[in-house]
Structure 1
Amino acid sequence: MIPYGKQDINQQDIAAVIAVLQSDFLTQGPQVPLFEAALMQHTGAEHAVVCNSATSALHLACLALELGTGDWLWTTPITFVASANCGLYCGAQVDLVDIDPATYNLCPKALEQKLIIAKAQNKLPKVVVPVHLCGQSCDMVAIHALSLQYGFKIIEDAAHAIGGEYQGKPIGGGDYSDITIFSFHPVKIVTTAEGGAALTNQQALADKMALLRSHGITRDKALMGPVAGFDMDGQGDWYYQQVALGFNYRMTELQAALGVSQMQRLTQFVVERRRLALRYNQLLADLPLTLPVQLGQTNSAWHLYVVGLQLEEGGFFQKKQLSKKLVFSQLRTLGIGVHVHYIPVHTQPYYQAMGFTVGDYPVAESYYQQALSLPLFHGMTDVQQDEVVAALHDVLVDHELESSVRRTGI
């Protein structure tokens, strides 16, 4: 099976992790700040707080922005559910904004129309979470302009986008947002096995996230206060205080060391992904597929390569009696690990129980009916990519599954 995505681990990565295993620190040692420094150096952000997952980082970001009961968080329906769940963790209400039909990112025009209505209803969002789907930045200039007009904070969900660029600058620099989130899951561009990070240019937000990342505990005397009936003068260097209700969202030294090593190859990872994406564009040009659209001011990191099956009424797929389900299953049978990113958030049973219904976000639903993620990962060979393309030709055009199975030996 050619997977849709996979990690790329080399001997340098392995050696970095082994060195930590042989060191004095497996957690809360020197590797975590080194990894944070590497992220800041790459993006230009002033602060980085690494965590055990991007979901944890999203939660911390919401808490740092003081999202809570009575507030609203808005995001896109085409994302992993964590982009919306982070608002629920804080007791806030969640709403969604439909996507741009070309880029599949949160649509600024739809956002503006929804904001106009929300202002009239006194239901403006406190936080908006645009998601850089597949690694391409949203239109952050437009979204940021709306934030200034309507007073909301911005968390960029850049889980797909480390190594990508917007307006010639690395995604994560924070020019148009309060906090940016990265993910280091194994299928992401850089991996720490599991992990995430929150980047910001605001010291207060960084301090709050760092505090909440580790139980709300501090040894900083400036943050401590007196304790009634307790001899503060008698406390030594061992002393700490819990000054907030935090979490154990820390990243281990093992994860951070792997991240430090992986960051040294980030440019190499992204350059190769872009080469493969361009090659897909060329090889798939004659198939009945909608290929990814890239905006002029963006340079995608290409975490995913998503095509659209052109399923319009009376079109190619109906004439061939092909459905998305059939195409997906036949490609899987041929050893092509296609996937779908994502099932719209508002169609999930948990969100349906909150009042969302099918039909709420028609552009997102249309995208989902057509979307198919093709294999794309660092280390993918041209031969493997040719196999993916050949299988697509067989299933979509020739529609000869049995001959394809014989030809590939699967």
Structure 2
Amino acid sequence: MIPYNRQSISNSDIELIKKTLKKTIITRGDNLVKFEKAIKNYVNCKYTVGFNSASSALTSACFGLNISKNDIVWTVPNSFVASANCALHFGAKIDFVDIDKEYKNIDIDYLEQKLIKAKKQNKLPKLLISVHFAGQATFQEKIYKLSKKFGFKILEDASHSLGAKRFDQFVGSSKWSDATVFSFHPIKTITSAEGGMVCTNNYSIYKRIILFRNNGITKNPSEFIKKNEGNWYYEQIYLGHNYHLNEIECALGLSQVKQINSFVKKRNSIANFYDKNMRDCGFKLPKIEKENLSSHHLYAINIDTNKINKNFFFKYMSKRGINLNVHYIPIHLHPFYKKLNFKKGDFPNSEWHYDTAISLPIYVGLKINDQKKIINIIKKFVE
């Protein structure tokens, strides 16, 4: 089978992992510090905090942004559930903003109209979680402008877009947000097997996130409530979790950081080949905004469901050794969210995208002959 996505592991990755396994300490060591610094330097932000997953990074970022019970948080339905779940962990009320059909990111006009209506009802969000679908940055500067007008905070869920740019500004710089989250899941731009990272330029947010990642524990004497009892002493001042990345995962991440640009270049090359050779197939192909460089985590097309049965297409491709996927089942249509009174028809663009979307294989190790095979099989199906 040709997978829809997969990791790319080199011999140098493996050697650094072997070296790490021989260290005295294999958790909370210098690899974590180095990995955080490498991402910080790459995206050009002030502070970074590494996590064992992007989901825990999103949850911790919500804590860092002081999200609490009954706060209102908005995100998009076209994402993995973690983009919304992170706020619910703190008792916040979640709502959604639909996407646009061109870029599959948050619809700025829809957002503005919803904000105007929310202001009249005194129901403005405290936080907006913008999602960079498939590796393409949102119109983040426009969202930032609206945040100043309506007074909400911004968290970028950039799980798909490490290595992506907008106006030559790396996603993760957090120039137009309070914080940004990356994922290092195996199929993302780079991997640490599992992992995530929060980037921010705000020291107060950074400090809270650090403590939350460490079970809410501080070892800083200036923060102690009681008298310091000795070098062993620590105090828990928040309710947190153990969300650390271990040294082995960080070793893999450290090795892969060096390859971000080459990985993004390769993914763009694959996407361009699809664009060139599938323009006459009758599909809606991904559109990249002119000011953006996409990391192309996904290559998601939209089919005409009046002409193609999506389930049949999946089975047809699978029988011929091509593994496809769909991104995403709209969050508001999951059984858990239906219990929160969301229903089909609430966000039509996200629902249209789910009904028509298919993710084709795209990964660094995808060979040109395999890509040609994929395209030829698709063309035979269409014919």
Interval of TM-score (by shorter of Structure 1 and Structure 2): over 0.9
The structural deviation recorded for 1:121 is 1.1
Equivalent position of 2:260 in the other structure: 266
Name the SS for the 1:289 alignment partner.
coil
Does structure 2 retain, via aligned residues, the 8 Å contact 1:307–1:373? Answer: yes
* SS of the residue 2:221 aligns to: coil
Aligned to 1:143: 143
Deviations 1:298-357 (A, max 9, x none): 110000000110235xxxx1xxxx311111111111111110000111111111111001
Q: CA deviation at 1:391?
A: 1.3
SS in 2 for 1:197: strand
Which residue does 2:172 correspond to in 1? 172
Partner of 1:187: 187
Contact 1:27 1:253 in 2 (8 A): yes
1:333 corresponds to which of 296, 319, 324:
319
Corresponding residue of 2:372:
386
User: Does the 8 Å contact 1:157/1:180 carry over to 2?
Assistant: yes
For residue 96 of structure 1, report the CA deviation from its aligned partner.
0.3
Aligned to 1:245: 239
The residue that corresponds to 1:400 in the other structure is none
Q: Alpha-carbon deviations, 1:102-125, whole Å to 9, x = none?
A: 000011111011111111111111
Q: Give per-residue Cα distances to partners, 1:167-226, cap 9 Å, x unaligned.
A: 111110011000000000011110001100000001111111011101111111111122
Corresponding residue number in structure 2 for 1:66: 66
Structure 1 residue matching 2:74: 3-state secondary structure? strand
Secondary structure of 1:145's partner? helix
> Does the 8 A contact of 1:53 with 1:196 survive in 2?
yes
Q: 3-state SS of the aligned residue for 2:275?
A: helix
1:73-101 deviation per Cα after TM superposition (whole angstroms, max 9, x unaligned): 10001000000001111110100001011
Give secondary structure in 2 for the equivalent of 1:48.
Answer: strand
Q: After TM superposition, what 4+ stretches of structure 1 lie above 6 angstroms from structure 2? A: none
**Correspondence for 2:98:** 98
Q: Counterpart of 2:117 in 1: which secondary structure?
A: helix
Q: 1:371 aligns with which of 357, 360, 381?
A: 357
Could you say what secondary structure the match of 1:66 adopts? coil
Specify the alignment match of 2:203 in structure 1: 203
C-alpha distance after superposition, 1:29-70 (max 9, x if no partner) = 100010000001100010000000000000011011111111
1:406 alignment counterpart: none
Q: Which moved more, 1:235-244 or 1:13-22?
A: 235-244
The Cα shift of 1:245 comes to: 1.1
- Aligned equivalents of 1:188, 1:67: Cα separation in 2: 27
Alignment pair present for 1:286 and 2:280:
yes
Measured in 1, the distance between the counterparts of 2:330 and 2:319 equals 26
**Where does residue 342 of structure 1 map in the other structure?**
328
Q: Distance in 2 between matches of 1:252 and 1:296?
A: 39
Which residue identity does 1:60 align to in structure 2?
Answer: S
Matched, 1:81 2:94: no
**Partner residue of 1:296 out of 290, 295, 316:** 290
Q: Distance in 2 between matches of 1:46 and 1:333?
A: 49
Amino acid at match of 2:158: A
- Contact 1:327-1:396 at 8 Å conserved across structures: no
2:51 aligns to what?
51
- Do the aligned partners of 1:45 and 1:200 also contact (CA within 8 Å) in 2? yes
1:133 CA displacement: 0.2
3-state SS of paired residue (1:246): coil
Q: Match for residue 152 of structure 1? A: 152
Q: Which runs of 5+ in 1 are unaligned?
A: 227-231, 398-410
Q: Distance in 2 between matches of 1:336 and 1:9?
A: 22
Q: Distance in 2 between matches of 1:356 and 1:216?
A: 34
Task: Report % sequence identity.
Answer: 38
Q: Partners of 1:185 and 1:306 in 2: how far apart?
A: 19
Q: Which amino acid aligns with 2:364?
A: H
What is the distance in 2 between the residues matched to 1:334 and 1:90?
Answer: 46
Aligned to 1:21: 21
Runs of 5+ in structure 2 lacking a partner?
Answer: none
Q: Is the Cα contact below 8 Å between 1:100 and 1:363 reproduced in 2?
A: yes
* Residue 275 of structure 1 pairs with residue 269 of structure 2: yes
Between the aligned partners of 1:160 and 1:279, the Cα distance in structure 2 is 20
Alpha-carbon contact 1:76-1:99 (below 8 Å) kept: yes
